[in-house]
Amino acid sequence: MPFPDIDPIIFQIGPFALRWYALAYMIGLIGGWYYMLSLAPNTSIYEQYDKDEASPLDDLLLWLTIGTILGGRLGYVIFYNPGYYLDNPGQILAVWEGGMAFHGGFLGVTIAVLIYAYKHNINPLSLGDLIASATPIGLFFGRIANFINSELWGRQTEFTLGVIFPNGGPLPRHPSQLYEAFLEGLLLFIVLAFLCRRTNAPQKPGLIMGIFIAGYGLSRMIVEQFFREPDAHIGYLVGGTTMGFWLSLPMLIAGLFFVYLATRKRQQIKSDE
């Protein structure tokens, strides 16, 4: 398939340019925050607050934004291209030029959530469940923006869905960005939405968060191992794996651990009753 003719810049006025990549982050953060607010009444977060009091989530969006941007950028600098940024430290904060890592953003958000939960006396696991439920929204739009930017494309393929990217050579490649948008974004969102609205999973702090972390880790590992082209300056690692694969493996393990803790704690409560 030919690559669709979509300009990465939506519109530009003088030096200001609105890019699809930036819009994806805006939709993910703002849309995710409103989605979290709709789910919050089903959790224990509001139990200790009177209806007349300010919501404990009022300024959460600011914390998530800072954690996402700083963590994502620093994660990319440290995990994927430390040598370049050591030689060009002035480029570290040039976020508008691209270069964000989900694993770094995940760590940044985790730190922000722990601080925020402590500050507002909120169970960090319950808050993590809310954020995990909404994160696939940002992942979906972020991967679509990666596709529009013609970046992070996949390996060469003869598959029907192969795309000839303008900067990926003359042969078709896997649109791995769209595979990730489906797995990490749409599919994971549907699974978590079902668990949040149709089951008692929100009453088991840490369960939704664990399923998200494990689900993301597994999805990313599959795409990294079979479809995605590794960063040119890193290449393949041991066994034909990629940096993204190894950064996702601990997420799979950690996610399964949180699922185990959440279900084990619930079973323990039932046995005590």
Dihedral sign for Cα atoms in the order 182, 187, 189, 190: positive
Looking at residue 23, its pLDDT comes to 92
Let me know how many helices (H) and strands (E) the chain has, helices first: 9, 2
- Model pLDDT, residue 185: 96
Cβ count within 10 A of residue 186: 15
pLDDT tens for the chain, residues 1 to 273: 789 888 989 988 888 888 898 899 899 999 999 999 888 877 777 665 655 566 778 889 999 999 999 999 998 898 888 888 888 888 887 776 667 888 899 999 999 999 999 998 889 999 999 999 999 999 999 999 999 999 989 999 999 889 999 989 999 999 999 999 999 999 999 999 999 999 999 889 999 999 999 999 999 999 999 999 988 778 889 888 898 999 999 999 999 999 999 998 655 555 444
Nearest-10 crossing angle of helices 60-79, 20-39: 130
pLDDT given for residue 120 in this prediction: 86
Q: Where are the domains positioned within the chain?
A: 9-272
Which pLDDT value is given to residue 21?
87
Report the alpha-carbon distance of residue 113 to residue 148 in Å, rounded.
31
- pLDDT for position 130: 93
User: Residue 271: its pLDDT value, please?
Assistant: 47
Strand partners, 11: 18
Q: How many alpha carbons lie under 13 Å from residue 46 in its C-beta half-sphere?
A: 18
Using alpha carbons, select from 236, 207, 242 the residue that is nearest to residue 222: 242
Residue 109 CB-half CA count within 13 A:
24
CA angle 28, 134, 129 (to 5 degrees): 145
Instruction: Find out whether 266 is annotated in a ligand binding site.
Output: no
